[in-house]
A and B are shown apart, each in its own frame.
Chain A
């Protein structure tokens, strides 16, 4: 569970949606959540890289999780957000359909990833939090982009 920090058995998560699924990342990985802005495309970059944005004078790359996870693309509506996260020490944006809430869950309700749970490969899934009426997929975002991939940019 090194991708998530549990304080006295409680995980603090930021949850967001992509398509019909609900995902979560550790709150400590999230710097801020922004509305959609103009994204400048970067030529010759991997397809899931949406482009770069201006984060208060810093130019940071933005990845599209729908593309990365192979979920059909949609036109971003007003709910769409760019989550600014720290991936392996690099500040990056992630485009998500919407950001839901900050959630405190007990570490005990997190179960190991069952095989074939989703259509994304399981290496960057840390586990599944089972709540009363919903399932939340916990993402290990450090594994989202491999070190080797970074230099492809």
Chain B
């Protein structure tokens, strides 16, 4: 039985991955219908699922995938033209496969009613005969121009040209296997490419072609000089340019080749976490060791043993850092994992809203920590939906504005120092800052004068306020801000930051800046009475030293005027019921200014110890962080320091005020 469970769990993992890839491939196929390789790929995936389900006896799955496969076969053979409505049916069947998969996972033995989807698929399959002709003619129509072009420039054609030229210009490359140009993507001609690159003019190519045909007529056997040669011979193009273009010409042919299989093994996440924990401990031990060695160096400066020890410690330090990095990397996953679901989402969204939206994914191979990958999906769904829904205008509106009918949403990921930046950019209507200002005043979130003084960035930040975007606003201010506070909270939880750039009529761009990993954070170490706490640096704005007499009490609430701003002050000691009477005598106190939900709070502490990189550890048996403790860390001297969660501490305060 256990063995069977294992096989089924392997099946589940594999199939889930296949399905994820499938959704994306289908969307890709829709925009690139002639990609035979892609169709074959999809066909194979579905076939694999069918085969495995059959073997394991999941009859419903077999039923469904069988007919889907049949439909795909017809598409592959060109009997069915892949119209959007047919694509809808296929995607629906893939969704159903997901549902079935979930049932298998839950082992709930629930049978789904497949009649509807099976009927639809059968309809598509049967309809092939009727609509097949249209499909065929469409296929022919798109295919017709090609042969004619080929006929016209027979002598320009690639196959022989390529080899010949290569052997002449690059003799060393003789044994290079020239790709057999696949029919659907015949490489561009040398002349065309040279013109594209601006190396020669179209007229020059024409001339070369004329010369070529003249020579061809005069010597009726084989050895006709190539366009590239003629161009170089007549000094229109340099040999280097022709070579470069030739390299380019071969490149597209490579695409069709099967990709190299990745060399990977599956590892249980628990095991990885375990390794990560051990490395974390090693890091802490290293820190302590280094502290000790530093002490020894002072005490016994001239001893040979001590200097050897410090050398060795430095070495261990180096290895530990590398090891830590290497282990972190094992937890990294490409953002592709989240990105993959968006093409499908945007496609469906665009179809329902009758918009034309193209989603471009950039930097999918950028890697992020697994835990962040898991958390970042929802905020991205929100932002992308917003971009497609509210950002991109209807095709007609876009055309009137002089923009292409289809809108573009670019989702990109790249690394910037210790951060990963995710950017969601659309070329839609943008956010009207002036209208936003009106809204702010209308909702009495700020006075007219205040709003006037605000920078655009400050105004835009209001979008993230909870409940700022109301239903009636959707029409007014492009509706952005629906659930934006959730996005903001989620990103903040990940110790990330979010910013907006927008231009009316040109589009909007959201930038999410995320840490590479959640396991290590920068923290400010503060002291209250005899206790030390770590405050995540991401929520700290600044630290201020205050005279006690600067703290004023307004309606029972201690506040401080900080550069014309009223900042409420809370004593961490009171929040945590720590007896801090011992430190009450001093006249100077420290205030850590913290931002929670765009609101500033002052947190009064007795001491500031400085900034430290801390490894976050969960506390055994502590179920939640409702009391404002986000976790713990262990300092260089082996002591446990609690990491406080300002979001929890002060959002409770916020609610208390309402």
**Residues in A lying within 8 Å of B, measured CB to CB:** 38, 40-45, 51-54, 56-61, 90-92, 150-151, 153
Contacts and interface: CB of A to CB of B under 8 A. Distances in A.
B582 to A, nearest CB: 15
Nearest to B281: A57
B304 interface: no
Contact of B575 (A43, A52, A58): A43
Nearest to A56: B281
A58 B617 contact: yes
Nearest to B577: A43
B575 A57 contact: no
B620 A91 contact: yes
A43 B639 CA distance: 16
B628 A43 contact: yes
Given A60-B620, A61-B620, A90-B621, A43 B627 contact: yes
A54 B623 contact: no
Nearest to A59: B632
B55 to A, nearest CB: 38
Contacts of B399: none
B619 A59 contact: yes
Interface in B603-658: 617-624, 627-629, 632, 634, 638-642
Contact of A52 (B578, B638, B640): B640
B43 to A, nearest CB: 49
B623 A52 contact: no
B141 to A, nearest CB: 68
B280 interface: yes
Given A43-B629, A153-B621, A54 B640 contact: yes
Q: Chain B contact residues: over half helix, strand or loop, or mixed?
A: mixed
B531 interface: yes
B42 interface: no
B576 interface: yes
Given A40-B531, A43-B628, A54-B639, A59 B623 contact: no
B277 A52 contact: no
Contact of A59 (B577, B578, B624, B640): B640
A51 B627 CA distance: 14
Nearest to B644: A43
B628 A40 contact: no
Given A40-B531, A43-B578, A61-B619, A151 B624 contact: yes
A38 B639 contact: yes
A153 B620 CA distance: 10
Nearest to A55: B620
Contact of B629 (A42, A56, A58, A60): A42
Contact of A92 (B576, B621, B629): B621
A58 B620 contact: yes
A47 B642 CA distance: 18
Contact of B623 (A42, A53, A58, A151): A151
A52 B640 CA distance: 7
Contacts of A40: 531, 632, 639-642
B284 interface: yes
A44 B576 contact: yes
Contact of B621 (A41, A54, A150): A150
A150 to B, nearest CB: 6
A59 B642 CA distance: 10
Contacts of A38: 639-640
A42 B285 CA distance: 24
Contacts of B622: 42, 61, 153
B628 A44 contact: yes
Nearest to B641: A40
A54 B641 CA distance: 10
B638 A54 contact: yes
A10 to B, nearest CB: 31
7 contacts: A40-B632, A40-B639, A41-B578, A42-B629, A52-B632, A59-B620, A61-B621
Given A57-B277, A60-B619, A44 B577 contact: yes
Contacts of A43: 575-578, 627-629, 642
Contacts of A58: 617, 620
A92 B642 CA distance: 17
Given A42-B642, A43-B576, A90-B620, A59 B629 contact: no
The 9 nearest A-B residue pairs measured at CB: A57-B281, A43-B576, A44-B627, A90-B621, A151-B623, A40-B640, A59-B632, A153-B622, A60-B620
Contacts of B638: 54
A130 B617 CA distance: 44
A22 B249 CA distance: 88
Contacts of A59: 617-620, 632, 634, 640
Interface in B273-301: 277-278, 280-281, 284-285
